[in-house]
């Protein structure tokens, strides 16, 4: 039996057709030209997952302003997803506007979302995919720990600033402890450039220069 290779950061997101609460979608094709975040959750009608979906929805407008779409996933039938959405609307007064994939297990296995020791439920995973369909980040969380959606907003903003300006993003940006909202200039790779850097930018040393964007 041929072993399936899990996609990694820098790989093209696997081409697939999925059934969602918004009908059938082709990934990554239907999101061409946009960023998208595919996030898996263990199961519908569970407390932590419910808090996560509300948190994602609360930030959906912010993601859309960043040219970013959301798409959820679990190994549940589409009927379960729809009923859960109805429950969230009725009980919590929140409309879930993004699609949720109803997976038979094929998508979860392709993306490595079924982990040993966790049964057949999908783990909490995040795939961030850029407008060219390339996976830029993968994050895994245990079932008992809910995710921080503000970090995902920060990551998308950071990727976009990095791509546009050819820079690196410091820890806790835009509130970094050393350089605040500034960004890092890639280190010089030769002696001449190293000397120039100290005159061109604010630097701690030639290999650690930073600037405003």
Instruction: Please check whether residue 151 is in contact with residue 37, taking contact to mean a CB–CB distance below 8 angstroms.
Output: no
Strands (E) across 109-196 are located at 124-129, 135-141, 183-185
Annotated active-site residue 203? The verdict is no
Q: Which of 18, 27, 49, 183 is catalytic?
A: 49
Q: Parallel, antiparallel, or unpaired for β 68-74 and 100-102?
A: parallel
Q: Which candidate, 40, 50, 99, 105, places its Cα nearest to that of 73?
A: 40
Residue 82 structure tokens: 């729809």
Of the CA atoms within 13 Å of residue 66, those in its CB half-sphere come to 24
Which residues are designated catalytic? 49
């Amino acid at each position: 039996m041929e072993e399936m290779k899990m996609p990694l950061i820098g790989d093209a997101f696997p081409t697939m057709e999925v059934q969602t609460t918004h009908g059938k979608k082709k990934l990554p094709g239907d999101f061409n030209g946009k960023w998208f975040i595919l996030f898996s959750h263990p199961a519908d009608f569970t407390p932590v997952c419910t808090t996560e979906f509300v948190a994602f929805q609360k930030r959906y407008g912010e993601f859309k302003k960043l040219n970013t779409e959301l798409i959820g996933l679990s190994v549940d039938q589409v009927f379960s997803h729809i009923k859960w959405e109805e429950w969230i609307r009725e009980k919590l007064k929140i409309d879930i506007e993004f699609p949720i994939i109803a997976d038979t297990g094929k998508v979860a296995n392709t993306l490595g979302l079924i982990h040993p020791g966790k049964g057949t439920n999908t783990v909490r995973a995040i795939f961030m995919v850029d407008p060219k369909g390339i996976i830029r980040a993968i994050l895994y969380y245990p079932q008992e720990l809910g995710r921080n959606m503000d970090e995902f907003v920060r990551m998308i903003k950071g990727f976009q600033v990095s791509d546009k300006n050819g820079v690196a993003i410091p820890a806790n940006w835009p509130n970094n402890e050393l350089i605040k909202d500034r960004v890092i200039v890639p280190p010089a790779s030769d002696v001449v450039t190293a000397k120039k850097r100290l005159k061109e930018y604010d630097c701690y040393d030639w290999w650690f220069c930073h600037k405003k964007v």
